[in-house]
Amino acid sequence: MTHDLSIFQLSIAIGGGFLAGVINTLAGNGSAITLPVLMFVLGLPPNTANGTNRIGILVQGLMGTGTFYRNKILKPRQHPWVILPAIAGAMLGVWMAIQISPQGFKRVFGLILILMLVLALAHPKRWLKPKERRIPVGLYGILMFLLGVYGGFIQMGMGIFFLATTVLLGGMPLIRANALKLFVVTSYTLVVLFVFHMKGLVDWRLGGIVAVGQGLGGWITARWASKYPKADLWAYRLLLITLVWAILRVFL
């Protein structure tokens, strides 16, 4: 797509990016907004949209993680069994994304989202007041590797699955889990974006436009979430809204 963008397209691209940055910082699945914007508003093919989408994820992640780290919400050195397996898995996932079309995965993705919604509604106290748990480090590592594979492959919904694992299984507070999620996703996105670029599947111009809004949304939300005492509650509410939105997108 080489022609000039209309005011409408620019507004939707930046506004959609901003909303995705907010959602990704507090819950996850902001790609459910940015991928349709890149494909249906800006006109990119699905595989190029998948690669271009990583620009905004990277920009938003860099701004959000920096804010969480400065406010001492993020402590990456405490979680090597989470970070390293996820990054390794993402390398396999991006290879799959280049080799295989993701279209057939949508229905399975929708069914998993329904399961996540049921879990979130059935056990709200586990999200808001998680109990500290000690699951085997090996099992934690395997789950994070699989999450990394999924994130490298398509990314959409990765944040929700990551939060379900770290909060419901690991007992991590929701805001700290959000900060760790941003750090993990940002780390592997550096490599994933490079691979997509080498395959010619990144439109830096259009991705940069969406990334402006996404980075701003992530930065503002991270600053607010680091200081607001009820951020966990709002993160949980946004998680529910995002799940419902993604399910409707998949099945309707």
Q: pLDDT above 90 covers what percent of the chain?
A: 29
Q: Is residue 12 part of a domain?
A: yes
Judge whether residue 2 has pLDDT over 50. no
- Total domains in the chain come to 1
**For the segment 51-81, what is each residue's pLDDT rounded down to a tens digit?**
999 999 998 888 888 888 888 888 888 888 8
Phi and psi (nearest 5°) for 102? Answer: -85, 0
Give me the half-sphere count of Cα atoms (radius 13 Å) on the Cβ side of residue 75. 6
Give the whole-angstrom CA distance, residue 234 versus residue 193. Answer: 30
Does residue 143 sit within a domain?
yes
Looking at residue 36, its pLDDT comes to 85
Per residue in 114-125, pLDDT (tens digit) is 877 787 777 676
Domain for residue 2, yes or no? no
**Helices (DSSP H) in the chain: which residue ranges?**
7-26, 31-36, 46-70, 80-99, 106-122, 124-128, 137-153, 158-163, 174-198, 204-227, 231-251
How many angstroms separate the CA atoms of 95 and 100, rounded? 9
Answer yes or no: is 55 within a domain: yes
210 located within any domain: yes
Number of alpha carbons in the 13 Å side-chain half-sphere of residue 211: 21
Residue with more model confidence, 5 or 231: 5
Report the range out of 30-34, 82-86, 237-241 with the highest average pLDDT. 82-86
Residue 235 located in a structural domain: yes
Vertex 157: Cα angle to 6 and 77 (nearest 5): 110
pLDDT at 198 over 90: yes
Predicted structure pTM score: 0.79
Q: Residue 78 has what DSSP assignment? A: G
36-40, 100-104, 188-192: least confidently modelled range: 100-104
Q: Token pair of 219, please?
A: 């930065």
* 119 inside domain: yes
Domain limits at 48?
Answer: 7-251
Q: Quick check: is 163 in a domain?
A: yes
pLDDT of 24 higher than 80: no
